[in-house]
Amino acid sequence: MSAKPASSAASPSAPVKLTPMMQQYVDVKRGLPRDTLLLFRLGDFFEMFNDDAVTASKLIGLTLTKRQETPMCGVPAHAADNYVGKLLALGKKVAICDQAEPAKAGKLVRRQLTRILTPGTTLETAQIDAARNHYLCAITHDKHGLHAAWLDLTTGEFKVATDTRPENLLPILTALDPAEIVTPENALPAWQNAAHDHANPAHAALAALAGFCATRLVTELAPYQFELNSAPAAIATALGVLNLQGFGLENNHPALGPAAALVYYATENLCAKPENLRSLQEYRPAKTLLLDPATLRNLEIFNSTRGTRDGSLHHAINRCATPAGARLLERWLAAPALDLAEIHRRQTITGELLAMPGSLSALRAHLQNIRDIPRIIGRLQNRLRNPRELGGVRDTLAQLPKIHDALAQFAPGTTTRIQKEKIDLLPELHALLARALADELPNDINEGNHIRAGHDPELDRLRALTTGNKTWLSDLERAEQERTGIRSLKVKYTGNFGYYIEVTKANLHLVPADYIRRQTTVGGERYVTEALKQKEKEIFHAEENALARELVLFNELVTAVLDESIALVRTADTLAELDVLCGWAQLAREWDYVCPTIDETDVLEITEGRHPVVEQMLKNPSAGSPQTFVPNDTQLSSSDAQIALITGPNMAGKSTYIRQVALITLMAQVGCWVPAKACRIGLVDRIFSRVGASDDLARGNSTFMVEMNETANILNNATDRSLIILDEIGRGTSTYDGLSIAWAVVEHLHRDETRGPRTLFATHYQELTQLEKHLPRMRNLSVAVKEWNDEIVFVRRVVPGAADRSYGIQVARLAGLPLTVIDRAKTILEKLESEDTDIELTAPTPKARPKKKITVKPEDDAQMSLL
């Protein structure tokens, strides 16, 4: 999508002479970025006209009407957020033009553009997932590498990163899963074209970059918005500082260009400078464990293969009580730590919480009542204000003394007790909000009644006037009913006509002479009296003054909250961390997790490890009869048992086993306890996975090409500190091609004389098991099965040694293939295994290829030979 101003799209298909209101609309529409839908406030509705109306009616099912041949549709103002959320979810951008003054009879209401909502810049609660981070990302690429910046406007998180190798930076960008990407004009088409140019040394990186952008909304900005020369000053202004040196960033940092583009784009869409930006941090890939996009997908870290949180690792280890805690867990999983001290700190707090079950339960109960302070502060700072947001601050502050008391139960000097000192109680602010805010708060500030009675004498006086006048109206209705004899007479109010007396047609002959007719309706007439008109002025004046006074008091409360914004956000960050760690302690208690030993060694030892997601699913009552997960051991070492080759039948658990090792490793390095009896892991710098079958036909990649691309990425980037899991390498092509590739991959991973990446390699190629004799750091493992009357029983145990066969026909029977197919397959298998190629065919098919033996010549240094 493009941010160029609209031209012809702004011209409505309306009469040449526009009404003043439509001229307002056209003037606002003309200045908007292309393809932006404009919601234009008219009374109680937001209306859309012309092409915008046609588009919106199709996308979200609005009723399309016409006025003087101009297509139009609208949504109620009070429900606009929900409709806008639907449009944003479809990748649309929506501009809001609201009334800038109260409506007055006979005068054109002044309207102005208040903000442009895009998938990456919206702040409204109804349009974002409270439990997920919401990033806007800017990217550039040049001969020096990939440069990126990302910003969560809802919380103010702002980071930059650069790397000469895009493959080091793309993993974190993929994990962040930005809602919108900003690039220079024509950059994405250039990346897409270069991705197909195999003569270009950067084609692989650009292909990955183009693929990353392909499934997300991309907005193009003018290239000058990314210029590095002006970027430091623009960013410093947005952050309210003189320069960026305090953040450890030099003015020539290449990612400042994208960061400046984000500041510009956010300012344009908010129609004001973002007020919740306070710092800019640099992300360094070398300081975190990297998980490439394929691994994030294959291991289902954030989403299951169904595209939902349910069934993902995040869902399995998330016991957070607050949205801020769930978002912090997401950030920890996106960038697992390589800092041993930080990992040990998280482990220690989890253990201390686990050892104090009473305090743990109390903390979790109090955290349930903590509101989303970072996002509340972000909205308040960016002019999105409603009474319930302040109520959220009040309710959170009310919980802090209880959390203090719970933390005080831990021994002085413990890591958990230290968290208490990071929580600022802010008693004066809490007392002010508790005294000033009503118990029940409206969502709309213009509804009034959000300030508690007794807080402000002037407001109490104005409210008393309003209450007295409304009592007068009730008395008037009864008096007029008695005077006229019209028992159905009513005193009513509408926004267009004010207060009036309604008389039905059947009683019009009883109307007194002093009634002044105002309007004829289908059912009768509406009247006023001089006394009623005078009282209406008094009521309006009192209500208007009372609401104005409430707005003054409300803004004073907002100012008081924002004056403490730094302390509030710092406290909220501590509470989010405490929430994650309390959740992990509860998780460890529920599922018998153990604290892993994380160190600088090259070992990976897991005793009775279990798959954290599958184990929970097996015991979930909704999944049927609860089952027990069968644990397994793992022993790997970069310098000893480097490669474990795992054979065995399909459905026996090979894939589950290798995935559980990767997930346990990842959990350990984010500081979480793990599903095992014992665990020791030497720090891992990257986790790679090549699992399953998928294609990318849109970019011309077959299933096998995707497999080879992912394998190439692993072999080119793995180090001896990496963990690799490979599942069925080479299965996407012919048997002998695939076997040859798999064989060569194993040899490549073992090529260094002394050490290599820790690797789990699941395969059906039985021939590969011969390599154990010639590769000293390779070990054969197999998944055991039991046979009975040509049937197999999966016991889910991984044992030393190679499997003798794959049991494919038995698995096919379990899958329900017709018995005729099963019997025929057995006959063919017997012929092939006896190397008898004279197979009687039941139908004309190509001649079966004979099976050949593969041996390894010792003198050939373990190179494969097909004989």
Write down the pLDDT at residue 535: 81
Please, are residues 115 and 134 in contact by the beta-carbon 8 Å criterion?
no
Neighbours of 221 (CB within 10 A): 22
Note the Cα 409 to chain centre separation in Å.
35
State the Cα–Cα distance between residues 603 and 633, nearest whole angstrom.
13
Give CB contacts under 8 A, 24+ apart, made by 353-357: 353/416, 353/581, 353/582, 353/585, 354/585, 354/588, 354/589, 356/409, 356/410, 357/589
In 3D space, the residue among 368, 543, 562, 559 whose CA is nearest the CA of residue 465 turns out to be: 543
More confident residue, 495 or 418: 418
Number of alpha carbons in the 13 Å side-chain half-sphere of residue 196: 8
Write down the pLDDT at residue 833: 64
Note the Cα 601 to chain centre separation in Å.
34
Q: In this predicted model, what pLDDT tens digit does every residue of 101-114 receive, in sequence order?
A: 777 767 888 899 99
Q: Is the pLDDT of residue 694 over 80?
A: no
Neighbours of 563 (CB within 10 A): 11
Please, are residues 502 and 490 in contact by the beta-carbon 8 Å criterion?
yes
Q: In this predicted model, what pLDDT tens digit does every residue of 476-532 receive, in sequence order?
A: 999 999 999 999 999 988 766 788 999 999 999 999 999 999 888 888 999 999 988
State the Cα–Cα distance between residues 562 and 276, nearest whole angstrom.
10
State the Cα–Cα distance between residues 809 and 131, nearest whole angstrom.
46
Please, are residues 315 and 612 in contact by the beta-carbon 8 Å criterion?
no
Neighbours of 333 (CB within 10 A): 23
Helix extents (H) in 335-386: 340-354, 357-367, 373-381
Least confidently predicted of 211-225, 427-441, 504-518, 778-792: 778-792
For 512-534, b/e burial (b = at least 16 CB within 10 A) is: eeebeeeeeeeebbbbbbeebee
Residue whose structure tokens are 């623009």? 234
Q: Is the pLDDT of residue 16 over 80?
A: no
- The residues with which 39 forms a beta bridge, in sequence order, are 96
State the Cα–Cα distance between residues 244 and 248, nearest whole angstrom.
7
State the Cα–Cα distance between residues 612 and 656, nearest whole angstrom.
10
Please give the average per-residue pLDDT across 662-669, as a whole number. Answer: 98
State the Cα–Cα distance between residues 394 and 374, nearest whole angstrom.
14
State the Cα–Cα distance between residues 673 and 354, nearest whole angstrom.
11
Domains belonging to the chain, first-starting first, are: 8-117 (3.40.1170.10), 126-287 (3.30.420.110), 318-426+568-591 (1.10.1420.10), 457-557 (1.10.1420.10), 597-816 (3.40.50.300), 819-867 (no CATH)
DSSP, res 100: S
Percent over 90 (pLDDT), the chain: 62
Q: Is the pLDDT of residue 286 over 80?
A: yes
Task: Find out whether 655 is annotated in a ligand binding site.
Answer: yes
CA distances from 619 to 112, 432, 591, 660, 667 (A): 57, 49, 11, 17, 21
Token pair, residue 200, equals 């270009």
Cα Rg, the chain, nearest whole Å: 34
Write down the pLDDT at residue 341: 96
State the Cα–Cα distance between residues 481 and 489, nearest whole angstrom.
6
Q: Is the dihedral of CA 281, 285, 288, 290 positive or negative?
A: positive
Q: Is the pLDDT of residue 786 over 80?
A: no
Please give the average per-residue pLDDT across 9-30, as a whole number. Answer: 74
Q: In this predicted model, what pLDDT tens digit does every residue of 816-858 receive, in sequence order?
A: 678 777 677 777 666 666 665 555 555 444 444 444 444 444 3
Q: Is the dihedral of CA 500, 501, 502, 503 positive or negative?
A: negative
Backbone phi, psi, residue 53, to 5°: -65, -45
In 3D space, the residue among 763, 694, 650, 658 whose CA is nearest the CA of residue 294 turns out to be: 694
Question: What 3-state DSSP class applies to 659?
Answer: helix
Please give the average per-residue pLDDT across 355-374, as a whole number. Answer: 96
In 3D space, the residue among 396, 391, 390, 400 whose CA is nearest the CA of residue 421 turns out to be: 400
Cα dihedral 811→817→821→826 (10° resolution): 10
Please give the average per-residue pLDDT across 207-212, as a whole number. Answer: 86
Residue 754: burial class (beta carbons within 10 Å; 0-12, 13-18, 19+): exposed
In 3D space, the residue among 546, 488, 484, 492 whose CA is nearest the CA of residue 510 turns out to be: 484
Q: In this predicted model, what pLDDT tens digit does every residue of 43-69 receive, in sequence order?
A: 889 999 999 999 999 999 999 998 888
DSSP, res 701: B
Write down the pLDDT at residue 282: 95
Beta strand pairing status for 111-117 and 136-142?
unpaired
Which residues, in sequence order, are CB contacts of 791 under 8 Å at separation 6+?
810
Task: Find out whether 649 is annotated in a ligand binding site.
Answer: yes
Write down the pLDDT at residue 701: 58
Q: In this predicted model, what pLDDT tens digit does every residue of 116-174 receive, in sequence order?
A: 999 999 998 888 999 999 999 999 999 889 999 999 999 999 999 999 888 889 999 99
Token pair, residue 460, equals 């109490």
State the Cα–Cα distance between residues 375 and 630, nearest whole angstrom.
43
Task: Find out whether 507 is annotated in a ligand binding site.
Answer: no
pTM of the model: 0.85
In 3D space, the residue among 21, 14, 121 whose CA is nearest the CA of residue 68 turns out to be: 14
Task: Find out whether 583 is annotated in a ligand binding site.
Answer: no
More confident residue, 648 or 576: 576
State the Cα–Cα distance between residues 752 and 638, nearest whole angstrom.
10
CA distances from 330 to 327, 351, 828 (A): 5, 21, 51
Write down the pLDDT at residue 625: 66
Write down the pLDDT at residue 131: 92
Write down the pLDDT at residue 411: 93
Backbone phi, psi, residue 317, to 5°: -110, 10
Q: Is the pLDDT of residue 432 over 70?
A: yes
Beta strand pairing status for 136-142 and 180-184?
parallel
State the Cα–Cα distance between residues 446 and 436, nearest whole angstrom.
17
Question: What 3-state DSSP class applies to 569?
Answer: helix
Token pair, residue 418, equals 């230290």
Residue 359 pLDDT grade (very low, low, confident, very high; cuts 50, 70, 90): very high
Residue 385 pLDDT grade (very low, low, confident, very high; cuts 50, 70, 90): confident
Task: State the DSSP string of 270-302.
Answer: HTS--TT----EE--GGGB-EE-HHHHHHTTSS
Residue whose structure tokens are 């309390």? 582
Write down the pLDDT at residue 698: 46
Which amino acid would we find at residue 533? K
Q: In this predicted model, what pLDDT tens digit does every residue of 68-79 receive, in sequence order?
A: 888 999 999 888
In 3D space, the residue among 292, 230, 267, 261 whose CA is nearest the CA of residue 140 turns out to be: 261
Residue 738: burial class (beta carbons within 10 Å; 0-12, 13-18, 19+): buried
Note the Cα 806 to chain centre separation in Å.
41
Please, are residues 393 and 572 in contact by the beta-carbon 8 Å criterion?
no
Please, are residues 662 and 757 in contact by the beta-carbon 8 Å criterion?
no
pLDDT, mean over the chain: 87
Helix extents (H) in 182-282: 187-195, 203-214, 231-239, 256-270
End-to-end, the C-alpha distance of the chain in Å comes to: 58
Which residues, in sequence order, are CB contacts of 214 under 8 Å at separation 6+?
698, 699
Task: Find out whether 653 is annotated in a ligand binding site.
Answer: yes
Q: In this predicted model, what pLDDT tens digit does every residue of 453-486 receive, in sequence order?
A: 999 999 998 888 777 777 888 889 999 999 999 9
Task: Find out whether 639 is annotated in a ligand binding site.
Answer: no
Token pair, residue 15, equals 């009469």
Helix extents (H) in 592-670: 612-618, 654-669
Q: In this predicted model, what pLDDT tens digit does every residue of 404-417 receive, in sequence order?
A: 999 999 999 899 99
Which amino acid would we find at residue 768? L
Please give the average per-residue pLDDT across 705-714, as a whole number. Answer: 83
- The residues with which 779 forms a beta bridge, in sequence order, are 644
- The residues with which 111 forms a beta bridge, in sequence order, are 99
Backbone phi, psi, residue 737, to 5°: -65, -50
Residue 536 pLDDT grade (very low, low, confident, very high; cuts 50, 70, 90): confident
Write down the pLDDT at residue 258: 97
Question: What 3-state DSSP class applies to 843?
Answer: coil
